Amino acid sequence: MRVVVLTGGVGGARFLRGLKALQARPGQSAPQISHITAIANTGDDITLHGLRICPDLDTVMYTLGQGIDQDRGWGREGETFTTQAELSAYGAGPDWFGLGDKDLATHLIRTRMLDAGYSLTDVTAALCKRWDIGISLLPMSDERVETHVFIEQDGEKVALHFQQWWLEHRAGIPALGFANVGADQAQPAPGAIEAIQECDLVLLAPSNPVVSISPILAVPGIKEALQAKTVIGVSPIIGGSPVRGFADACLAAIGVQTQAGAVAKHLGAKADGGVLSGWLVDDVDADQVQDLESFGIRAKAVPLWMSDVDATAEIAREALALAEGIR
Ligand code: FO1
Name the residue at shortest CA distance from atom 3 of ligand 1.
Answer: 167
Helix (H) or strand (E) holding 197: helix 192-198
Name the residue at shortest CA distance from atom 13 of ligand 1.
Answer: 55
β partners of residue 168: none
Name the residue at shortest CA distance from atom 9 of ligand 1.
Answer: 98
What integer best gives the mean pLDDT of the chain? 97
**Rounded distance between C-alpha atoms, residue 142 and residue 185, angstroms:** 11
Name the residue at shortest CA distance from atom 14 of ligand 1.
Answer: 55
51 C-alpha vs ligand 1 centroid, how far in Å?
A: 15
Whether pLDDT at 31 is above 90: no
Percent of the chain surpassing pLDDT 90: 96
User: Is the Cβ atom of 285 under 6 angstroms away from ligand 1?
Assistant: no
Whether pLDDT at 232 is above 90: yes
**For the whole model, what pTM was predicted?**
0.97
Please enumerate in sequence order all residues whose Cβ is within 8 A of that of 128, keeping only pairs 6 or more positions apart, or say none.
Answer: 61, 65, 137
58 C-alpha vs ligand 1 centroid, how far in Å?
A: 10
β-bridge pairing 237-238 and 177-181: unpaired
Contact 3, 37 (CB under 8 A): yes
Query: Which 3 state secondary structure label does DSSP give 201?
Result: strand
**Rounded distance between C-alpha atoms, residue 95 and residue 29, angstroms:** 49
For position 209, what pLDDT does the model report?
Answer: 98
Pocket test for ligand 1, best of 47, 56, 164, 167 (most atoms within 8 A of CB): 167
56 C-alpha vs ligand 1 centroid, how far in Å?
A: 8
213 C-alpha vs ligand 1 centroid, how far in Å?
A: 17
Q: What is the rounded average pLDDT of the residues 121-130?
A: 98
Atom number, ligand 1, closest to the C-alpha of residue 99 = 10
pLDDT confidence band for 26 (50 / 70 / 90): confident
Phi, psi torsion values for 279, nearest 5 degrees: -150, 125
In tens, the pLDDT along 152-164 reads 999 999 999 999 9
Whether pLDDT at 179 is above 80: yes
In tens, the pLDDT along 88-99 reads 999 998 999 999
Whether pLDDT at 120 is above 80: yes
Ordered alpha helix ranges (H), 199-308: 214-218, 222-226, 247-253, 260-267, 289-295
Percent of the chain surpassing pLDDT 70: 100
